Amino acid sequence: MKRSLSSFLLAAIVAVSLLADDVERTPRNDWTENQLRELAWEIHDNCLTLDTHMDVPIVLKRPGFDISKEHSWYEHASQVDFPRMKKGGMDGGFWVVYVGQGPLTHEGRAKAISSGFEIADLIHATVEKNSDLAAIATTPEEANAIRKSGKRVVFIGIENGYTIGRNLDLLKDYYDKGVRYFGVTHSKNNDLADSSTDPEGNLHMGLSDLGRAAVEECNRLGIMVDISHSSDKSAWDILELSKTPVIASHSGCYARYPHPRNLNDALLKEIAARDGVVQMNMFSAYMMDVEPNKERSEAMRAWFEKYRNGDALSEAEQIEATEQYVALQKKYPKPLSTVSAVVDHIDHMVKVMGVDHIGLSGDFDGGGGVKNSMDIGQMMPVTIEMLRRGYTEEDLEKFWGANVMRVLQASIDYAATLREEAAEE
């Protein structure tokens, strides 16, 4: 009976939230592009603007890459650096500790753990080297202070629980290194949970017992739980178990495009009911049908077999790999969705969840990007399109940072409450 009452109350909360957000927004059809651009810049200047999922470390590993210099996607296959953050009106965001899913063996887990901490250390080393340009944040208060100092804000997240193997104690080690969200899965199942895209299907039918313990440990530490890449059942299990709101750091709407990486309306509503946030993912293949290109697929497969086969690459081979990758992207440009499609997904999220539960992520350096918004320096077109459709300055402030910072603060506060209760016992 208690569970039924709880479900009823959650449904009521959602209903009230959606009614409160059922606002008639007047499109700015009579505004010029210059007027829209001016207002967009004003908004970015006046609020904290964060991208919640950037795979920057993938590029940081390249020999000689300098994130303090401006690069380009088309010439360097790079989508994030400090100059482009400033150029795009972005204060910063979450840099991701990502390790691709490998075998669920002792050796595989050990390698993933080692790689994960190497990436976390690389993030710290990079920020320390560029301390005049950026600083690491672990709280909303720190993020706003860094922003006011004129530096870029670097939060740290984890993508794929494979980075902890089966050792939950490592979550505390990552927390101490500044990690503030934990993505439970990636493209394949791991020891913690099922992925939304594993070709083998389910392994655990949702969260495993270890996965449940990991969610509880994240709650205890003050780490947000990220359901992006999780199967629907894994996501429902996390929502049911977590004592704090969850995020989906880079996900879209299944109703707009039926890809297994996207979230259906029932999940969107439940995330909102539990005060969580979904960050719209600007990954083109999750927003559109992509016609098969046999030549491109074969060329990319050959590239991966040569440079991503698990063998350590020399510095010369790494440079060669980057040059070949850039050449392939130029020869076989991947199909791109549009800024309009991104905002179509956001429109749907607003209709289903309300403006308090939406954020944004380009998924840059991890495959993200759409036409006219292919790197962190090209985020203004997204804001302009939202303004064109009638979204307010308050809406945009929530989307670009306030919503996810609310969830982070809720996680921090819950962990502090647990510590206080433990101290009183």
- The tens-digit pLDDT sequence of the chain (425 residues) is 333 334 434 444 444 444 436 777 999 999 999 999 999 999 999 999 999 999 999 999 999 999 999 999 999 999 999 999 999 999 999 999 999 999 999 999 999 999 999 999 999 999 999 999 999 999 999 999 999 999 999 999 999 999 999 999 999 999 999 999 999 999 999 999 999 999 999 999 999 999 999 999 999 999 999 999 999 999 999 999 999 999 999 999 999 999 999 999 999 999 999 999 999 999 999 999 988 899 999 999 999 899 887 677 888 988 999 999 999 999 999 899 999 999 999 999 999 999 999 999 999 999 999 999 999 999 999 999 999 999 999 999 999 999 999 999 999 999 999 999 999 87
Per-residue pLDDT at 171:
98
* Cβ proximity of 287 and 342 under 8 Å: yes
Q: pTM of the predicted model, to two decimals?
A: 0.93
Q: Is residue 232 part of a domain?
A: yes
Of 224, 226, 228, nearest in space to 252 by CA:
228
CA 139 to each of CA 154, 223, 338, 341: distance values in angstroms, whole numbers, following the listed order: 11, 11, 33, 32
Per the domain annotation, does 273 fall within a domain? yes
Taking the alpha carbons at both ends of the chain, their separation in whole angstroms is 31
pLDDT on residue 15: 47
The pLDDT score that the predictor gives to residue 21 is: 62
Number of domains in the chain: 1
- Is residue 35 assigned to a domain? no
- Distance, in Å, from the CA atom of 335 to the CA atom of 296, rounded to the nearest integer, reads 11
Supply the pLDDT for residue 424.
Answer: 87
- List all residues 6 or more positions away from 137 whose beta carbon is below 8 Å from its beta carbon: 92, 143, 146, 153, 154, 155
Beta bridge partners of 281: 361
Residue 38 lies in a domain: no
Is residue 318 a part of any domain in this protein? Answer: no
Please write down the HEC assignment for all residues of the chain: CHHHHHHHHHHHHHHHHHHHCCCCCCCCCCCCHHHHHHHHHHHHHHCCCEEEEECHHHHHCCCCCCCCCCCCHHHHCCCCCHHHHHHCCCCEEEEEEECCCCCCCHHHHHHHHHHHHHHHHHHHHHHHHCCCCEEECCCHHHHHHHHHCCCEEEEEEEECHHHHCCCCHHHHHHHHCCEEEEECCCCCCCCCECECCCCCCCCCCCECHHHHHHHHHHHHHCCEEECCCECHHHHHHHHHHCCCCCEEEEECECCCCCCCCCECHHHHHHHHHCCCEEEEECEHHHCCCCCCCHHHHHHHHHHHHHHCCCCCCCHHHHHHHHHHHHHHHHHCCCCCCCHHHHHHHHHHHHHHHCHHHEEEECCCCCCCEECCECCHHHCHHHHHHHHHCCCCHHHHHHHHHHHHHHHHHHHHHHHHHHHHHHHHC
Q: Give Cβ neighbours of residue 108 (< 8 Å, ≥ 6 apart).
A: 102
Nearest in space to 244 (alpha carbons), one of 229, 211, 222:
222
> Is 37 part of any domain?
no
- Write down the residue that tokens 């076989």 correspond to: 332
**Is residue 32 in a domain?**
no
Q: Shortest CA distance to 402 belongs to which of 281, 279, 283?
A: 279
The two three-digit tokens of residue 422, written as one number: 């433990």
CATH for 162? 3.20.20.140
Give whole-number Cα distances, 305 to 76, 217, 299, 308, 321, in Å: 21, 37, 10, 6, 11
Q: Note down the domain range covering 158.
A: 49-290+334-424
How far from the centroid of its chain's Cα atoms is residue 417's Cα? 27
- Whether 315 is covered by a domain: the verdict is no
As a whole number of angstroms, the distance between CA 136 and CA 156 comes to 8
